[in-house]
């Protein structure tokens, strides 16, 4: 199940002197895998926090036709799962099982259904048998997978990832790409790691100083050297290195 | 960061650990009330209370070193209270018979013993159950919802602050040659401020993550509490034993002084 996302003229500022998002408009079709790239501080994570109403800027956001506003938060949060950059920000229960069950229980699922969802989510993340493990005793890679399992257990129609590839070793990045590719939901991935995004996303949007400056297929965006350079995503230096070593 | 301190020994398996958190909480409270309400200055009953508490600790398999370490945290307050009773009485009057002084010291000592017995029972209670199970038990015992939420969040944020302290300690130690000199207290000041700012920011993100998963003020749990009849045997025997000691001492006192 996947839902569409529509963002219209979204603006937001944390302080009065600087606008983080400036009239951002995006339309994401159900099942689409969109990557959002840009420099640090460009407004990528802030944009994600608007998707399930944690931040409320001016403008309109709708998920599957439901407008994101105070009275629709319950429905919206059921549909949109956020995977935070730092898994430690996402895991707050004593055991893996309880962390994964937190979302489904909050949305009123029965204990039996929740247990089934926990089992399925942990199996999808190759974390079977770790139900009773203490979350903050796991390795970073495992914590990242648990964080994703906490969202998968809610069976959201839209999953938003904030820097999912940061601090992961290359093998884990490949594993995560594989997991993301198999997800049956609308995906919005925010990252500065361009290479994994090429594997995950069919469409890329470039954000610069709170403004979407480009939006197109992954190939269109990545092959636009001028755009990549001006957005701080130029990989030509690495291309030379790759040519030398591989 | 890897740390666990509040319910470090909650994973052990013992008759104390296996008790339902509600039974455990109510039993601990009753035992504490029996001990604390003991006659002022009565030391004789502690010859029975202390072994009972000691047996409970031994049964729980929680190491004494851990219990004593936790007791040390509040030692200054208990010691001061116990010491100040005879001292303040001594300073308050010019002349008092020797017997009165002895009684004051006995009262001081009984304050000390009461406080420590109660403290050990509380440590036993919090260490032998997962914190969230304890809260769940308290919620079932009709503890106000708000207090439950505050306690649960506080428990989580204690780890968060501790996490930030460990991180900033590592950052500081990696750039210093060893122990910090007293002249560099400013560093500690800055570090403390940073710990709170960072903790605040992280707690905000954590809260956002809870909201994004439908948090509405309740911590739902899959655990279902149930009390079996035989589970009540140990607490029942304990309470009965302590009550017998308490009442026997009361009667002895009444007999001696009437």
Task: State whether B152 and B96 are in the same domain.
Answer: no
Distance set, CA B7 to CA A27, B20, B55, B67, B219 (Å): 48, 16, 20, 12, 18
* pTM assigned to the model: 0.73
Task: Look at residue B56 and tell me if it is in a domain.
Answer: yes
Task: State whether B124 and B149 are in the same domain.
Answer: no
pLDDT in the model for residue A41? 87
Task: State whether B88 and B205 are in the same domain.
Answer: no
Distance set, CA A134 to CA A2, A60, A92, A104, B150 (Å): 32, 40, 10, 19, 22
Which sign, positive or negative, has the C-alpha torsion B100, B103, B107, B108? positive
Rounded Cα distance between B10 and B132, Å, is 11
- Band the pLDDT of B51: cuts 50, 70, 90: very high
Task: State whether B26 and B111 are in the same domain.
Answer: yes
**Partner residue opposite A111 with nearest CB, options B216, B218, B222:** B222
Distance set, CA B59 to CA A28, A94, B17, B27, B173 (Å): 61, 25, 9, 16, 41
DSSP designation for B180:
P
The 3-state DSSP class for residue A2 equals coil
pLDDT in the model for residue A192? 87
Spell out which residues of chain B touch residue A98, defining contact as CB-CB under 8 Å.
132, 221-222
Task: State whether B43 and B60 are in the same domain.
Answer: yes
pLDDT at residue B1 greater than cutoff 60: no
DSSP designation for B219:
-
Spell out which residues of chain A touch residue B7, defining contact as CB-CB under 8 Å.
94
Residue written as tokens 């895998």? A33
Task: State whether B37 and B91 are in the same domain.
Answer: yes
Rounded Cα distance between A36 and A198, Å, is 11
The 3-state DSSP class for residue A132 equals coil
Task: Look at residue B232 and tell me if it is in a domain.
Answer: yes
Domains of chain A: 5-245 (3.40.50.300)
Percentage of chain B beyond pLDDT 90 is 22
pLDDT in tens, B234-252: 889 989 988 998 888 888 8
Contact A154 B213 (CB under 8 A): yes
- Band the pLDDT of B12: cuts 50, 70, 90: confident
Task: State whether B105 and B165 are in the same domain.
Answer: no
pLDDT at residue A232 greater than cutoff 80: yes
Mean of the per-residue pLDDT values of chain B: 83
Task: Look at residue B240 and tell me if it is in a domain.
Answer: yes
Contact B222 A98 (CB under 8 A): yes
pLDDT in the model for residue A91? 85
Give the mutation candidate from B212, B216, B222, B224 for the A interface (greatest A CB count, under 10 A).
B212
Percentage of chain B beyond pLDDT 70 is 91
Task: State whether B157 and B42 are in the same domain.
Answer: no
Spell out which residues of chain A touch residue B218, defining contact as CB-CB under 8 Å.
106
Mean pLDDT score, B52-78: 91
pLDDT at residue B45 greater than cutoff 80: yes
What's the domain range around B200? Answer: 144-175+184-212
Task: State whether B128 and B21 are in the same domain.
Answer: yes
Looking at per-residue pLDDT, the higher value among A66 and B198 belongs to A66
Cβ of A77 under 8 Å from any chain B Cβ? yes
- Within 10 angstroms of residue A105's Cβ, the number of other Cβ atoms is 23
Cβ of A90 under 8 Å from any chain B Cβ? yes
Rounded Cα distance between A123 and A146, Å, is 11
Interface of chain B toward chain A, CB-CB under 8 angstroms: 1-4, 7, 130-132, 156, 159, 163, 202, 205-206, 208-216, 218-222, 224
pLDDT at residue B46 greater than cutoff 60: yes
Rounded Cα distance between B49 and A173, Å, is 59
pLDDT in the model for residue A243? 85
pLDDT in the model for residue B179? 63
CA A41 to chain centre: 16
Contact B132 A94 (CB under 8 A): yes
pLDDT in the model for residue B2? 52
Task: State whether B132 and B250 are in the same domain.
Answer: yes
- Band the pLDDT of B28: cuts 50, 70, 90: very high
Beta-bridged to residue A5, according to DSSP, are: A28, A63
Task: Look at residue B6 and tell me if it is in a domain.
Answer: no
pLDDT in the model for residue B177? 64
pLDDT in the model for residue A141? 85
Number of domains in chain B: 2
Size of interface A-B (CB pairs under 8 A): 78
Spell out which residues of chain B touch residue A150, defining contact as CB-CB under 8 Å.
213
pLDDT at residue A18 greater than cutoff 80: yes
pLDDT at residue B6 greater than cutoff 70: no
pLDDT in tens, A107-162: 889 989 999 999 999 998 889 989 888 777 788 888 889 999 999 999 999 999 99
Whether A200 contacts A180, CB under 8 Å:
yes
pLDDT in tens, A179-227: 899 898 999 999 988 889 999 999 999 999 999 999 999 999 999 988 9
The 3-state DSSP class for residue A219 equals helix
pLDDT at residue A106 greater than cutoff 90: no
pLDDT in tens, B159-213: 778 878 888 887 777 776 666 666 677 777 888 888 888 888 888 888 888 888 8
β strands within A19-136, DSSP E: 21-28, 33-37, 58-63, 66-67, 80-83
Whole-number CA gyration radius for chain B: 23
pLDDT in the model for residue A158? 95
Looking at per-residue pLDDT, the higher value among B26 and B219 belongs to B26
pLDDT in the model for residue B168? 82
Cα–Cα–Cα angle for B106, B115, B31, nearest 5°?
Answer: 110
**Which residues, numbered 14 to 53 in chain A, qualify as contacts with chain B under a Cβ-Cβ cut-off of 8 Å?**
49, 52
- Band the pLDDT of B54: cuts 50, 70, 90: very high
Task: State whether B111 and B201 are in the same domain.
Answer: no
pLDDT in the model for residue A99? 87
* Helix spans in A80-134 (H): 87-90, 96-106, 111-124
pLDDT in tens, A73-95: 889 999 999 999 888 888 877 78
Q: What ipTM does this complex have?
A: 0.75
What are the backbone angles phi and psi of residue B228, rounded to the nearest 5°?
-95, 150
Task: State whether B41 and B108 are in the same domain.
Answer: yes
pLDDT at residue A33 greater than cutoff 70: yes
Tokens at B188, concatenated: 């500690």
- Within 10 angstroms of residue A232's Cβ, the number of other Cβ atoms is 14
Q: Supply the DSSP string of A178-212, one letter for each residue.
A: HHHHH--SEEEEE-S-HHHHHHH-SEEEEEETTEE
Task: Look at residue B77 and tell me if it is in a domain.
Answer: yes
Task: Look at residue B221 and tell me if it is in a domain.
Answer: no
Task: Look at residue B1 and tell me if it is in a domain.
Answer: no
| Residues 6 or more apart in contact with residue A89 via CB below 8 angstroms | B202, B205, B206, B208, B209
pLDDT in tens, B99-131: 677 788 888 999 999 999 999 999 999 899 888
Task: Look at residue B200 and tell me if it is in a domain.
Answer: yes
């Amino acid at each position: 199940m996947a839902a569409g996302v529509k963002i219209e003229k979204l603006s937001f500022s944390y302080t009065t002197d600087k606008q983080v998002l400036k009239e951002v408009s995006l339309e994401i079709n159900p099942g689409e895998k969109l990557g959002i790239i840009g420099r640090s501080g460009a407004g990528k994570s802030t944009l994600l926090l608007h998707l399930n109403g944690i931040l409320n800027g001016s403008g309109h956001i709708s998920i599957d036709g439901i407008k994101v506003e105070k009275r629709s938060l319950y429905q919206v949060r059921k549909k949109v799962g956020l995977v935070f950059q730092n898994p430690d920000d996402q895991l707050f229960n004593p055991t893996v099982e309880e962390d994964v069950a937190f979302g489904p229980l909050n949305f009123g699922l029965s204990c039996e259904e929740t247990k089934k969802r926990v089992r399925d989510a942990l199996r999808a993340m190759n974390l079977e048998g770790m139900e009773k493990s203490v979350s903050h005793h796991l390795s970073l890679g495992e914590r990242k997978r648990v964080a994703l399992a906490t969202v998968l257990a809610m069976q959201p129609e839209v999953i938003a990832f904030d820097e999912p590839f940061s601090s992961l070793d290359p093998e884990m990045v490949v594993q995560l790409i594989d997991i993301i590719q198999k997800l049956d939901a609308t995906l919005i991935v925010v990252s500065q790691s361009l290479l994994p995004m090429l594997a995950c996303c069919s469409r890329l949007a470039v954000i610069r100083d709170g403004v979407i400056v480009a939006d197109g297929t992954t190939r269109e965006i990545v092959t636009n050297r001028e755009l990549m350079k001006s957005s701080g995503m130029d990989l030509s230096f690495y291309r030379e290195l790759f040519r030398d070593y591989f | 960061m890897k740390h666990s301190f509040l319910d470090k020994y909650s994973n052990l398996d013992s008759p104390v650990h296996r008790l339902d958190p509600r039974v455990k909480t109510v039993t601990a409270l009753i035992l504490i009330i029996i001990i604390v309400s003991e006659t002022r200055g009565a030391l004789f009953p502690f010859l029975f209370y202390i072994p009972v508490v000691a047996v409970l600790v031994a049964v729980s398999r929680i190491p004494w070193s851990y219990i004593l370490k936790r007791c040390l945290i509040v030692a200054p307050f208990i010691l001061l209270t116990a010491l100040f009773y005879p001292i303040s009485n001594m300073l308050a009057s010019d002349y008092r018979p020797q017997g009165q002084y002895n009684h004051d010291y006995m009262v001081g000592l009984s304050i000390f013993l009461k406080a420590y017995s109660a403290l050990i029972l509380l440590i036993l209670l919090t260490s032998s159950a997962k914190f969230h199970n304890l809260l769940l038990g308290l919620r079932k015992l009709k503890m106000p919802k708000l207090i439950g939420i505050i306690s649960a969040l506080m428990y989580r944020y204690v780890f968060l602050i501790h996490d930030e302290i460990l991180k900033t300690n590592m950052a500081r130690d990696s750039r210093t040659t060893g122990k910090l000199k007293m002249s560099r207290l400013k560093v500690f000041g800055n570090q403390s401020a940073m710990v709170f700012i960072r903790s605040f920011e992280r707690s905000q993100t954590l809260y956002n993550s809870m909201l994004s998963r439908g948090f509405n003020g309740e911590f739902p749990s899959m655990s279902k509490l149930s009390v079996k009849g035989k589970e009540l045997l140990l607490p029942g025997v304990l309470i009965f034993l302590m009550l017998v000691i308490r009442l026997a001492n009361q009667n002895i006192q009444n007999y001696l002084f009437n």
